[in-house]
């Protein structure tokens, strides 16, 4: 069994996406709205911009002051909805507390909502209709398919119930005919549920939350979290010291952190931007 390392897949996808961009009559453009100075957001946004450059699409960051008013952000989004040169638009989260995150996220037009976070796109996903899909769940599916992990009829446990990860991911697993359980902080007998699952997705955000002894042999483990340990090193929810036992003794598949799911989220964001552009030209 193996570490499901995303790097080769990302390299392959970058090449494919470059080709698709070259076939378009107009370069797609991703507009990222960032409000305030959240440190992690700054890193995520610069990763997104770098990937746009690599694939050959345009990107623009609209970096707004921490104290900007709700009305002003609304106006910016409404203008971007009309702008011909904005293919995809996203509002980087979190945003300052005085702003209405749900309202602003949903104000982005469904077609331009490259994050797949609007009520329209979330609704389409749950009704099995075509729409934009949240990028981390999309990336997890791409990774599982690339490594030919069978999902049909499998027991899947997702330890996360967020609108960004757990809920949309549960819909994608259902589409693949898996049997899905969503666990959260109030879930009883979590360890038993983990042991009984064929596929475990963890997005808890706690270093060393899971170790080798928690998993049955042959489990596929998807670690979505990006945490930092005491030494400042990036890690997920699964103990790094246990990777070897998990993969070699327990014969599990495991997405590593770094170089796992995180790599996929950005590439899916770019792909979804290109898909929007392709639809616009067809
Ligand atoms: N903050 C953390 N993850 C995401 C994401 O996927 N999209 C946006 N817009 N903000 C985020």
The answer, yes or no, to whether any atom of ligand 1 lies below 6 A from the CB of 272, is no
Sequence-ordered list of residues with C-beta below 8 angstroms from that of 195, at least 6 positions apart, any chain:
214, 215, 216
The answer, yes or no, to whether any atom of ligand 1 lies below 6 A from the CB of 89, is no
The answer, yes or no, to whether any atom of ligand 1 lies below 6 A from the CB of 264, is no
135-261 carries CATH number 3.30.470.20: no
Task: Pick out the residues of the known binding site.
Answer: 160-162, 226
pTM of the model: 0.96
Minimal-distance CA residue to ligand 1 atom 2: 93
Q: What is the pLDDT of residue 87?
A: 98
Residue 275 Cα, ligand 1 centroid: separation in angstroms? 19
Q: What is the pLDDT of residue 265?
A: 97
Minimal-distance CA residue to ligand 1 atom 1: 93
Contact 30, 51 (CB under 8 A): no
The 3-state secondary structure of 111-173 reads HHECCCCCHHHHHHHHCCCCCCCCHHHHHHHHHHHHCCCCCCCCEEEEECCCCCCHHHHHHHH
Task: Pick out the residues of the known binding site for NADP(+).
Answer: 160-162, 226
Minimal-distance CA residue to ligand 1 atom 8: 92
Distance CA 26, CA 92 (A): 25
Q: What is the pLDDT of residue 43?
A: 93
Minimal-distance CA residue to ligand 1 atom 3: 93
- pLDDT tens per residue across all 282 residues of the chain: 689 999 999 999 999 999 999 999 999 999 999 999 999 999 999 999 999 999 999 999 999 999 999 999 999 999 999 999 999 999 999 999 999 999 999 999 999 999 999 999 999 999 999 999 999 999 999 999 999 999 999 999 999 999 999 999 999 999 999 999 999 999 999 999 999 999 999 999 999 999 999 999 999 999 999 999 999 999 999 999 999 999 999 999 999 999 999 999 999 999 999 999 999 998
Which atom number of ligand 1 is nearest to the Cα of residue 135? 6
Q: What is the pLDDT of residue 2?
A: 83
Minimal-distance CA residue to ligand 1 atom 11: 93
Q: What is the pLDDT of residue 204?
A: 98
The answer, yes or no, to whether any atom of ligand 1 lies below 6 A from the CB of 115, is yes
Distance CA 220, CA 145 (A): 12
Best of 44, 88, 225 for a ligand 1 pocket test (most atoms within 8 Å of beta carbon): 44
Minimal-distance CA residue to ligand 1 atom 4: 93
The full set of domain ranges for the chain reads: 26-110, 135-261
Helices (H), the chain: 7-22, 39-55, 70-82, 101-107, 119-126, 135-146, 166-175, 190-195, 243-244, 261-281
How many Cβ atoms sit within 10 Å of the Cβ of residue 68? 16
Q: What is the fold, at CATH topology level, of the domain defined by 26-110?
A: Rossmann fold (3.40.50)
Instruction: Given the cut 0.90, state whether the ipTM is greater than it.
Output: yes
User: Tokens 């609704």 belong to which residue?
Assistant: 123
Q: What is the pLDDT of residue 1?
A: 61
Q: What is the pLDDT of residue 247?
A: 97
Best of 30, 38, 115, 205 for a ligand 1 pocket test (most atoms within 8 Å of beta carbon): 115
Residue 93 Cα, ligand 1 centroid: separation in angstroms? 5
The answer, yes or no, to whether any atom of ligand 1 lies below 6 A from the CB of 35, is no
CA 149 from centre of chain:
19
How many Cβ atoms sit within 10 Å of the Cβ of residue 24? 16
């Amino acid at each position: 069994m193996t570490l499901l390392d995303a790097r080769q897949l990302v390299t392959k996808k970058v090449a494919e996406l470059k080709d698709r961009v070259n076939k378009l009559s107009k370069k797609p453009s991703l507009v990222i709205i960032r409000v305030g100075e959240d440190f992690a957001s700054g890193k995520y946004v610069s990763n997104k911009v770098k990937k746009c450059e690599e694939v050959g699409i345009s990107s623009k960051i609209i970096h707004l002051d921490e104290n900007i008013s709700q009305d002003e952000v609304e106006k910016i989004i409404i203008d971007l909805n009309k702008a011909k040169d904005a293919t995809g638009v996203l509002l980087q989260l979190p945003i300052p507390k005085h702003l209405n995150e749900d309202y602003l996220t949903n104000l982005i037009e469904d077609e331009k909502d490259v994050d797949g976070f609007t009520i329209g796109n979330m609704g389409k996903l749950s009704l099995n209709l075509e729409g934009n899909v949240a990028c981390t769940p999309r990336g997890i599916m791409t990774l599982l398919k690339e490594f030919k992990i069978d999902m049909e009829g499998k027991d899947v446990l997702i330890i996360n119930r967020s609108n960004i990860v757990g809920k949309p991911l549960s819909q994608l697993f259902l589409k693949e005919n898996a049997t899905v359980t969503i666990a959260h902080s109030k879930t009883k007998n979590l360890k038993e549920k983990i042991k009984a699952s064929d596929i475990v997705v963890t997005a808890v955000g706690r270093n060393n939350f899971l170790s080798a002894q928690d998993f049955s042999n042959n489990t596929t483990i998807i670690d979505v979290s990006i945490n930092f340990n005491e030494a400042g090193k990036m890690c997920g929810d699964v103990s790094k010291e246990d990777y070897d036992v998990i993969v070699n003794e327990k014969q599990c598949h495991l997405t590593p952190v770094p170089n796992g799911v995180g790599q996929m989220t950005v590439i899916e964001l770019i792909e979804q931007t290109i898909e929007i552009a392709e639809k616009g030209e067809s």
